[in-house]
Structure 1
Amino acid sequence: MSAFAQVLASGVATGCVYGLVALSFVLIYKASDTVSFMQGELLMVGAFAAVGLHAAGVPLALAGVLAVLAVALLGAALERLALRRALGQPHLVAVLLTFGFGLVMRGAVASVPAATHEMHRLPLPEQVLVLGGIVFASSHLAVIAATALLVLLLALFFRHTRAGLALRACAEDARVAALMGVPVARMHTLAWALGAGLAAFAGLLLAPISFVHLDMGLVALKAFPAAVLGGLYSLPGALAGGVFIGVAEALAGLALPEGYKDAVPYALLMLALLAFPRGFGGRAA
């Protein structure tokens, strides 16, 4: 029972990271009707930026904040300079642009010898907490708590701020929102910035669980199915899909032979989509 609880906590923590990246997919898709395939690289860049800033002498907390802000500005700049030109073009144009930018970011990080030749980890205090006789890693509980706090802040932002309400209006119907005076172009930029910042924040949360390395952005391959599972239009659904995949993956690693862990979440994803074609957060037309 203790092992089951520990594995469950690990799965929920990893699922929270998947869910945050899935949230970044959904934010961008709702605002601009574009799937961004550079979210994994943005996650990796954010983690490396925090590591680099901290190595340069910046306090860890400030390094994390600056890394998230820098990646958010990078997402906004890419939208303003290049991705905005893809509006009105076939969807494949924007997809290929984001894929290309992801490769450029990966190549830029790979050009730094320390990024490819060494494994890095953010120096967070690692402790063990005993609750009810069950041992939990403090990093897993911290990831869950940080995700819950961020989701609460996002909910307040989308419900009680003018920018949040404007983003929701653009996601509902950009043409009508423009007629009502909402600056749609600026909202698109804000959506890409928020999506990039969320991916970078997910990278900071993933760093205590795994090392910071060039391939850590591959978690986006599991976050995108989580976004699809959530319906691609629902922020709560995306987070639920991420936790679902994280828990399923962790339990599969506990109960099944080696090698099945990575396949089981996708098999469950297919079954769930057969039962809920619009995803957990989908809605009828």
Structure 2
Amino acid sequence: MTALSFADAMQLFVVGLSQGCLYSLIAIGLVLVYKATEQVNFAQGEFMMLGAFVGYQFIVLMGMPYWLGAMLTLVFMGAFGYGVEALVVRRLTGQPVFTVFILTLALGIALRAVAGIIWGFGNYSLPAPVDGNLTLGPVIISWASVLSIVVTAVVASALYLFFRYARQGVAMQALSLNQLAAFYMGIPVKRLTSSIWAMSAIFGGIAGLLLGPMTLVSTQMGFIGFKAFAGAIVGGFGSIPGAVIGCLLIGVTEPFFDIMFPTLKGIGAYLIMFLVLLIRPQGLLAQIYAKKV
């Protein structure tokens, strides 16, 4: 076990916080789909990977300004998510949940293969919208990490306001509670379900655009989605606040775990999930969420 100075601990905390924010964006997409349809999209990590590659296409290969390329990436991801639900997933309505599980796993594999065919199986660099570092005493934070934290906070707040005040957001909540009742109330269930998949893909695209400058864009980066899945389970699958808290917990804990137990590096997220499931199988916030509903 390695002793850490205060400065090192703060550095690891900030790194973990930015990682947890990225996990949160992916997990929010997972939970949105599950709440509305009781389906689990195991290709959510590959949605993030696709968003990173599409951003690489627009920003690097086509030479667009970062923010224009990022905006077009999110438009593309929204259309892609909408199309996946409308053209593929919707045809499995009424089928066992296991069928959608297999479908989304296959979709993830197919997306990795297609991305490799189009862009190659190497590692690619995606520029950050803001270069340099922010120095706070002994702690040095990249602006890319700061941006991931700020964007996640803004997105989570906007999502809260959307579901609380926007008419479509309220309709989506009704859909998540009872699809049949929502249909009889005149809510366009099919269109809203496709819109939720579009939102899920957009969140994946945002995570890909933020993660790309911090790591490298590759066909394997989608596997980070499993850590987001673990975070959603820790927080209570079906609760958006729980997913965010679970992902932040995993993100902050993971760097310390990897430093202190180098032989177990990379499995900290899954050990936390295992321990939470042993102690509280429903997750950290699942019971609170159920009472509110």
* TM-score > 0.5, shorter chain as reference: yes
User: Residue 185 of structure 1 aligns with which residue?
Assistant: 190
Amino acid paired to 1:178: F
User: How many angstroms does 1:165 deviate by?
Assistant: 0.4
Which of 57, 66, 74 matches 2:80? Answer: 74
In structure 1, the residue matched to 2:105 is 99
**Greater shift in the superposed pair: 191-200 or 124-133:** 124-133
Structure-1 residue corresponding to 2:3: none
* One-letter identity of the residue aligned with 1:239: V
TM-score norm. by structure 1 comes to 0.95
What CA distance in whole angstroms lies between the structure 2 residues aligned with 1:264 and 1:40? 18
Cα distance in 2 for partners of 1:120, 1:133 equals: 28
For 1:218, the aligned partner's letter is F
Equivalent pairs: percent with the same residue?
Answer: 33
CA-CA distance at 1:158 after TM superposition: 0.8
Is residue 2:170 matched to residue 1:165?
Answer: yes
Structure 1 counterpart of 2:229, from 204, 221, 224: 224
Question: How far has the Cα of 1:254 moved from its partner?
Answer: 2.5
Q: Aligned letter for 2:284?
A: F
Q: Considering only aligned residues, what root-mean-square deviation do their CA atoms show, in Å? A: 1.5
How far did 1:138 drift? 1.9
Report the AA paired with residue 203 of structure 1. Answer: G
Tell me how many residue pairs correspond in the alignment: 283
Q: Which one-letter code corresponds to 2:172 in the other structure?
A: L
2:255 aligns with: 250
Does the 8 Å contact 1:128/1:135 carry over to 2? yes
Distance 2:257 2:80 in 1: 37
1:267 — aligned with what? 271
Q: CA deviation at 1:228?
A: 1.3
Q: CA deviation at 1:78?
A: 1.1
Within a 5 Å distance, the mapping from 1:105-120 to structure 2 comes to 105-112=111-118, 114-120=119-125
Match of 2:121, SS state, is helix
User: Out of 11, 16, 22, which is 1:6 matched to?
Assistant: 11
The correspondence for 2:71, drawn from 39, 42, 65, is: 65
Change (3 A) 1:203 1:85: same
Partner of 1:46: 51
User: Partners of 1:103 and 1:50 in 2: how far apart?
Assistant: 20
Q: TM-score, normalised by structure 2?
A: 0.92
Residue 132 of structure 1: how far off its partner (Å)? 3.5
Which runs of 5 or more structure 2 residues have no equivalent in the other structure?
1-5
Structure 2 residue 199 is the aligned partner of structure 1 residue 194: yes
* 1:201-256 deviation per Cα after TM superposition (whole angstroms, max 9, x unaligned): 11111112211111110101111111111211110111111111111111112222
CA–CA separation in structure 1 for the residues paired with 2:109 and 2:122: 19
Q: In structure 2, what residue type is equivalent to 1:111?
A: I
Which whole-Å CA distance do the structure 2 matches of 1:105 and 1:133 have between them? 42
User: Tell me, which stretches of 5 or more residues in structure 1 are unaligned?
Assistant: none
How do residues 78-89 of structure 1 correspond to structure 2 at under 5 angstroms? 78-89=84-95
What is the distance in 1 between the residues matched to 2:138 and 2:113?
Answer: 46
| Residues in 1 aligned to 2:14 and 2:243: alpha-carbon distance in whole angstroms | 19
